[in-house]
């Protein structure tokens, strides 16, 4: 999913429009734009946010590649020594922990939403 976002973020006009609207409707930004030294417009803001998000979305790929390389290294050295692959597999597990965090957070968020939402009548 994040791979699709990374490679389509530059062409995604909906995201740019949302960032532009967010910039234009923010009261703090409106107060700051009344100053004469303020030089940013909404298009520059949207372009900067998209570029920052693209750079941020590459980190999971780097971590997964490093995790895969450590796993392969562990598999290749498993016959030589049991301690080295154990350490490599542990490091690979630590690097891939971020893949578990979003589903766990979504699970807790959905439980909280179910607890705070009114009961649905199924009559």
pLDDT for 69: 92
pLDDT for 120: 57
Q: Quick one: tokens of 104?
A: 């766990």
Give the domain ranges of the chain: 2-116
Q: pLDDT digits over 62-109, tens only?
A: 888 888 898 899 889 888 878 888 888 988 888 888 777 766 776 776
**Non-local CB neighbours of 88 within 8 Å, separated by 6+ positions:** 70, 71, 73, 74, 77
Owner of token pair 């941020």: 56
Q: pLDDT digits over 108-122, tens only?
A: 767 777 777 666 555
Q: What is the three-class DSSP state of 100?
A: coil
Q: For residue 82, give the DSSP letter.
A: S
Overall pTM surpassing 0.85 (yes/no) = no
Asked whether 107 and 93 are in contact (CB, 8 A), the reply is no
Q: Could you tell me how far CA 111 lies from the centroid of its own chain?
A: 22
Q: Quick one: tokens of 123?
A: 């009559």
Q: Kindly tell me if the per-residue pLDDT of 12 is higher than 80.
A: no
pLDDT for 47: 76
CA pair distance 110, 123, nearest whole angstrom:
24
Q: pLDDT digits over 54-64, tens only?
A: 777 778 778 88
pLDDT for 99: 77
Phi, psi angles (nearest 5°) of residue 95: -70, -25
Longest dimension (CA), the chain: 69
């Amino acid at each position: 999913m994040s791979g699709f976002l990374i490679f389509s973020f530059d062409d995604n006009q909906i995201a740019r429009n949302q960032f532009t609207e967010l910039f234009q409707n923010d009261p703090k930004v409106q107060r700051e734009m009344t100053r004469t030294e303020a030089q940013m417009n909404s298009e520059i803001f949207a372009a900067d946010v998209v570029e920052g998000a693209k750079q941020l979305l590459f980190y999971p790929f780097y971590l997964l590649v490093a995790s895969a390389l450590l796993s392969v290294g562990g598999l290749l050295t498993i016959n030589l020594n049991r301690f080295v692959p154990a350490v490599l597999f542990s490091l690979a597990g630590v690097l891939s922990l971020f893949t578990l965090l979003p589903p766990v957070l979504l699970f807790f968020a959905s439980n909280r939403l179910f607890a705070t939402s009114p009961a649905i009548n199924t009559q």
